[in-house]
Chain A
Amino acid sequence: MSKYVPKLPELKKEFDEKPSVLKGDYSAREWWDIPVEFRDGNWCFPGKSEVLEDLGFANPRKWAATDDDWQLPAGWQKTISDGLQSRLKKYRSLKLFLDSCVRCGACADKCHFFLGTGDPKNMPVVRAELLRSVYRHDFPLVEKILKGFSGSRKLTEAVIKEWHMYFHQCTECRRCSVFCPFGIDTAEITMMVRELLNLVGVNNNWILAPVSNCNRTGNHLGIEPHTFVQNINSLVEDIEDLTGVAVEPTFNRKGAEVLFVTPSGDVFGDPGVYTMMGYLLLFHHIGLDYTISTYASEGGNFGMFTSNDMMKKLNAKMYHEAKRLGVKWILGGECGHMWRVVHQYMNTMNGPADFLQVPVSPITGTRFTNASATKMVHIAEFTADLIYHNKLKLDPKRNDHLRTTFHDSCNVARGMGMFEEPRHVLRNVCNSFHEMPEDTIREKTFCCGSGSGLNAEENMENRMRGGFPRANAVKQVKERHKVDSLVTICAIDRASLPPLMKYWNPGVSVYGLHELVGNALVMQGEKRRTTDLRENTMAGFEDGGDDEE
């Protein structure tokens, strides 16, 4: 495993020795007295100068979080304080969330990073107080009379370091906001603080490099058009080898009915590519008239983890391309934060999409009225509708070699409310599905620990700690129901859960929902299939076996 994470027994020992959720003794201390310590495994490398220059971002330089001097630009205090003021004017959410917290503590043990680190500053309430304490300093009247009364403090370089540390130990998953009696959403605060930090050049290369790539090439991985096509075509060959069916995706084709957009991880990364193969099989199976764009070749949006303007800039490509190609509507692949952006931001930022039509499934005739303005449908909604109307020929036995559980991705769960569609699909494509414990699924789902651009290798210890609650829930169904397959509908999950499982629950593999759909689809003209899409032998379909229907 990575050199940036302690061995599992060491981490387990820590939990055994300090079984309390809050780790450490803070009896004589206040949280603001506790220094910030950057060490191997708990921070992400900063944005490279060329990336910052490419994006026109502030303060390009060579630095590391472990440096004493972060080389903040002259007048950085004013930049931050003006930046905060202007955001307070633009966002009622920010102002309200800074004003209304009563520190009741309901959120304290809801954060996966807190449960994994036991660090008091990872309690959502304290995370927000990191900003709130500075915000309150702008109203120092009471403070002057009664020092320490309202817990306010000056903006210093130490505060910036603390922000950098703890607003990169928040994955904007919104779990705390479910439990908050005022709905205070730490994701909102984290988004704002990351914007502020970017103004003074305090940043994360694992976020900014994909942002810059996406701007230039159309996708986070920086895949240029010809390579993008090549990659998908190699998947097409794999599909033909495995199934004997030649699927025929088209690229940048004008006049297609549907534009399909999915995270580029599905095109390039393992195990995302198997999910991509699932999509391709599905579209071929139903004869969908669709095209894939090399220009709008990214569903995900790391702009969301940078600034709202950047989110808008990267997202704008989807509508721009849909308009150019003259499609009727857009179909979106499996991704978490992509769907937060599409569901809650896209139409507001880059709409109205009046050049598109209300999405109608060409196979079932279902009008997706819930997407009548944004005109973009989630693939799980689309497939669930197909299955409901009996339009797919499925053999769930082909997934009998997998015992599955389902991980609700944070953004799809708490920023969209899509719980039943993927479950409906999953139940119809496999025979063994067991839910994780109730407090760890649906709206209470736990993040993979690497969301919102924290998936960097050098951040491994944080990721394994942040993912601990999720991994632990998987472990429980693994022990109880022999679950060995974790199914998700998120590209970041598909990238981040495999190392998490390898660390905490060896033997559990990670699947995209549509990979299982692809396994189960009985294609017209297919050859006898003995293996699934990743060439693992399917139970009951082995060579020579005779129990195929």
Chain B
Amino acid sequence: MKKVFMPLVMVAILALIPFVGVQYAGLSYLFGVIIPYTAIVVLLAGFLLRLADWLRRPVPFRIPTTCGQEKSLEWIKYDRFESPHRFWEVAARVLFEVLFFRSLFRNTKAEIHKDANLAYGSHKWLWFGGLAFHWSLLIIVLRHSRFFFPMVPGFTDLLSHVDGFFDVTLPTFYITDAVVLVAITFLVFRRLNDAKMRLISLQTDYFPLFLIAAIVVVGVFMRYLTRLDIMPVKDQMLRLVNFSVDAPGDIGALFYVHLFLVSVLAIYFPFSKLMHAGAIFLSPTRNQCNNSREKRHINPWNTAIKFRTYAEYEDDYREKMKKAKLPIEKQ
């Protein structure tokens, strides 16, 4: 299980680097200023470049995967969101994918029963786990906006309030912290638990899961156990937001581990499968109308080809065609 172990070791080493760097070598400037800036630049530039790289390639054909009835005869009800015909229907289809993982919701599990019979059961665990993972991550990221504004924005407060509904710890326990950890655990174990998943998983599939898990664990640790003093953290984040390159104040080394791992994630993002975050908007099987017979789709490179014309055909078969009493162009 080298492919599970290696990424785990990599994440452990990555976590140790800033710890040692700050604790023993006093490199807080490197880890608190230089690397975060670099990371954010790489993330933004990389993400945009990857998007641009996709967008500059043409979409020669209109190839939606139609998962519902086409729009054809008036008396047949068509499926707006599975076989969209108008722009807003396509937009809704893409949004359903992005926000609710529509296609994963369809998931089934095939089983072979006695006497070679196939059965399909509804299998929504991946959908549920994936949704829990992505949505809690999003909420956690949004919650962190409190570190980047001098005054905590209203929506962050509201979000934190809702997220902290179960006010059972001090500081307030956030549900999403638990959800994301459970979801990651599920996502890792489903890769390990099933022979098919073990075969298809690569190191690049485990690495980001472990990396995100480490970020969350360190964050949870700081918040609930070591009770890190967040004022210097917020000062430092505000400095970064204001493009200041001043040296950070005195913050615990654990924070640098958190920040460094986030930076690694940001740098890794544009070069990895994590770009599915952008790709999902562009997928030609999902983001095109199913109206190719109604509206001509243009292929910018439509190759000019020579086909066998009727005249050539008739030249070859004229006598036979005459005998068969077929009308011909030339005698």
Interface residues of A (CB under 8 A from B): 11-12, 15-16, 19-22, 26-27, 30-31, 88-93, 95-96, 99-106, 108-110, 115, 120, 123, 125-126, 129, 142, 146, 148-151, 174, 177-185, 188, 215-216, 218, 224-226, 229-230, 251-254, 294-295, 308-309, 312-314, 316-317, 320-321, 324, 342-345, 347-349, 351-352, 366, 368-374, 376, 381, 384-385, 388, 413-421, 424, 437, 439-440, 443-444, 468-469, 472-473, 475-476
Contacts and interface: CB of A to CB of B under 8 A. Distances in A.
B120 A437 contact: yes
Interface string B74-95: 0111110011000000000000
14 contacts: A26-B195, A100-B275, A178-B103, A181-B101, A183-B97, A183-B286, A185-B63, A185-B285, A309-B303, A348-B299, A351-B296, A421-B73, A437-B120, A440-B120
Given A92-B58, A224-B320, A416-B66, A151 B204 contact: yes
- Residue among B68, B205, B313, B321 with max Cβ neighbours from chain A (10 Å): B313
B80 to A, nearest CB: 11
B200 A125 contact: yes
B149 interface: no
Contacts of A102: 205, 273, 276
Interface stretch (B220-228, B240-248, B304-312): B304-312
A20 B297 CA distance: 44
Nearest to B114: A16
Contacts of B201: 103
Nearest to B62: A344
A98 to B, nearest CB: 10
A105 B123 CA distance: 12
- Residue among B77, B83, B116, B130 with max Cβ neighbours from chain A (10 Å): B116
A123 B321 contact: no
- Residue among B50, B110, B280 with max Cβ neighbours from chain A (10 Å): B110
Interface residues of B, number: 106
A324 B70 CA distance: 31
Given A12-B116, A22-B196, A370-B294, A251 B326 contact: yes
Contacts of A376: 293
B13 to A, nearest CB: 12
Contact of B200 (A103, A321, A472): A103
A182 B307 contact: no
B200 A90 contact: no
A62 to B, nearest CB: 27
Given A15-B116, A182-B280, A348-B298, A420 B69 contact: yes
A176 B156 CA distance: 39
- Residue among B69, B75, B308, B327 with max Cβ neighbours from chain A (10 Å): B308
A225 B273 CA distance: 54
Contact of B324 (A120, A230, A295): A230
B279 A413 contact: no
